Amino acid sequence: MLFPQKGVRFIAVNDNVDSASEGMDNDFTPLRNLFNEWLVRDTSKKIKAVKKSKGMSGKPVTSKPVYGYVMDEDENFIIDEEAAPVVQQIYQLCLAGNGPTKIARMLTEQQIPTPGTLEYQRTGSTRRYHPGYECKWATNTVVHILENREYTGCLVNFKTEKPSYKVKHS
Domain boundaries, the chain: 2-56, 69-152
Q: CA 146, CA 152: separation in Å to the nearest integer?
A: 10
Indicate whether 43 pLDDT > 90.
no
Query: Taking residues 27-56, what's their average pLDDT?
Result: 77
Q: CA 89, CA 41: separation in Å to the nearest integer?
A: 46
For the segment 120-131, what is each residue's pLDDT rounded down to a tens digit? 988 887 777 788
Q: Are 93 and 110 in contact (CB under 8 A)?
A: no
pTM beyond 0.75, yes or no: no
User: Exposed e or buried b for every residue in 72-91, given b needs 16+ CB within 10 A?
Assistant: eeeeebeebeebeebbeebe
22: amino acid identity, one letter: E
For the segment 76-108, what is each residue's pLDDT rounded down to a tens digit? 788 899 999 999 999 999 999 999 999 999 999
Q: Are 104 and 142 in contact (CB under 8 A)?
A: yes
Q: CA 76, CA 153: separation in Å to the nearest integer?
A: 12
